[in-house]
């Protein structure tokens, strides 16, 4: 996915708009804004391997559609899934 450049100020505005009290309140329609949220979610994760159960337990309080969030994180290269184990992409 080609990313447009977003300034730190713009990223903060996106987070202030869509990410409140540790939760994604609404997923933005614009891909570049979703990337900011995905970066935030991954930054909150520990550098460890997660089973699907553990990842679900982590993501569920962050976004109501945690399955789509998990898929988006993998499909867009923020997480790597191998043999049912998830980890942050380096």
Residue 3 lies in a domain: no
Q: What residues have CB less than 8 Å from 51, skipping those under 6 apart?
A: 84, 85, 86
Residue 62 lies in a domain: yes
Residue 75 lies in a domain: yes
Residue 2 lies in a domain: no
Residue 21 lies in a domain: yes
Q: What does the angle CA 77 – CA 88 – CA 36 come to, to the nearest 5 degrees?
A: 60
pTM of structure: 0.91
Number of domains in the chain: 1
Domain range for 41: 8-88
Residue 1 lies in a domain: no
Q: 26-47 pLDDT, tens per residue?
A: 999 999 999 999 999 999 999 9
Q: 50-74 pLDDT, tens per residue?
A: 999 999 999 999 999 999 999 999 9
Tell me the three state secondary structure of residue 65. coil
């Amino acid at each position: 996915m080609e990313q447009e450049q977003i300034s730190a100020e713009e990223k903060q505005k996106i987070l202030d708009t869509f990410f409140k009290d540790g939760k994604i309140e609404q997923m933005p329609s614009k891909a570049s804004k979703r990337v900011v949220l995905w970066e935030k979610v991954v930054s909150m994760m520990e550098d460890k391997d997660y089973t699907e159960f553990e990842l679900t337990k982590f993501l569920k309080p962050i976004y109501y559609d945690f399955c789509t969030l998990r898929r988006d994180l993998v499909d867009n290269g923020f997480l790597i899934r191998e043999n049912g184990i998830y980890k942050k992409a380096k």
